[in-house]
Amino acid sequence: MTMITVFGGGGFLGRRLVHRLAAVGMTVRVAVRHPDPARSELRSAGLDRVTVVHADVRDPASVAAALAGADAVVNAVSAYVEKAGVTFEAVHVKGAETVAREAVAAGAARLVLVSGLGADPSSSSPYIRVRGRGELAVRQAFPGATIVRPGAMFGPGDALFTKVSELARLLPAVPLIGGTTRLQPVFVGDVAVAIAHVLSAPATVGETYELAGPRVYTLRELIEITLRLTGKWRPIVPVPFAIAGIQARLLELLPNPPLTTGQVDLLKADNVASGTLPGLSALNIEPRTVEEVVPTYIGPRISRPVG
């Protein structure tokens, strides 16, 4: 296997995955809607085995072009907000199906779909439901696809610890949505290593993996950890889901919303591994802990970030 196309290779997980694949000698093609920022980052990183092409999972022709000559495919595209034609249905169901169908047409031997813990086609949550429907569509188009379901991912620039630390710096209080919701955060670097391992292991064909960290926390506990690391005491103010949903809809009008309705939906249910599917240990990966990694990028004394 020499050529891997990564859709969404400019995202939070995608960037780490591209670096990991290049580090183990793979030739990588990054397929993104906005190529210029990804090209700039790759130039600064000196990754000469990586190229960047324009592709939109809603456009079959661009997907087919990005897959030409690919031996394997990773679909790490994700959308947490719906606007300007980018809907959950278009990205996570129809888009995922397009990538799978075009991967078959291109003769790719492997396909990995990045989904999420709890993906369920019958869920009452629109976001969780389309994730589950997307998995079904991919399985139908590419039966040997491997599905990975990460929990809430953390690492430098994440939407969890980094965002809470910014709120603590800017606001006199930190809002808490779904304080008793349980999460099993996983280090984004471990997820990248897991996907790279999946691509090189024939035994993973057709499997589904739940990629979760070693410990379960409530959201309140994670906020308290962040506040201790930043050294800023702030009151934690509970926000009902109904009010959070209204706020999220308003914030989605911003170019980079700090809160989306998809994220609010995710907080309405526990986001933990079921225990019925293989996880990181099945891939011989010992997950890094929140306590080990987060202090490297959150806090008054910042060391060189891990990730």
Residue 170 lies in a domain: no
- Under 8 Å between Cβ of 176 and 236: yes
- Under 8 Å between Cβ of 206 and 145: yes
Percent residues over pLDDT 90 in the chain: 69
Residue 74 lies in a domain: yes
Residue 190 lies in a domain: yes
Residue 175 lies in a domain: no
The pLDDT tens digits along the chain (307 residues) read 589 999 999 999 999 999 999 999 899 999 999 888 878 877 777 777 799 999 999 999 999 999 999 999 999 999 877 777 789 999 999 999 999 999 999 999 999 999 999 999 998 888 899 999 999 999 999 999 999 999 999 999 998 999 899 988 888 999 999 878 999 999 999 999 999 999 999 999 999 999 999 999 999 999 999 999 999 889 999 998 889 888 888 887 777 777 788 788 888 889 999 999 999 999 999 999 999 999 999 986 444 445 5
Residue 196 lies in a domain: yes
pLDDT, one tens digit per residue, over 14-23 is 999 999 999 9
pLDDT, one tens digit per residue, over 90-112 is 999 999 999 999 999 999 999 99
Residue 241 lies in a domain: no
pLDDT, one tens digit per residue, over 53-69 is 999 999 999 999 999 99
Q: What is the pTM of this model?
A: 0.93
Residue 176 lies in a domain: no
Residue 208 lies in a domain: yes
Domain count, the chain: 1
- Under 8 Å between Cβ of 129 and 189: no
Domain that holds residue 75: 3-152+185-212+271-285
Report the CATH number at residue 41. Answer: 3.40.50.720
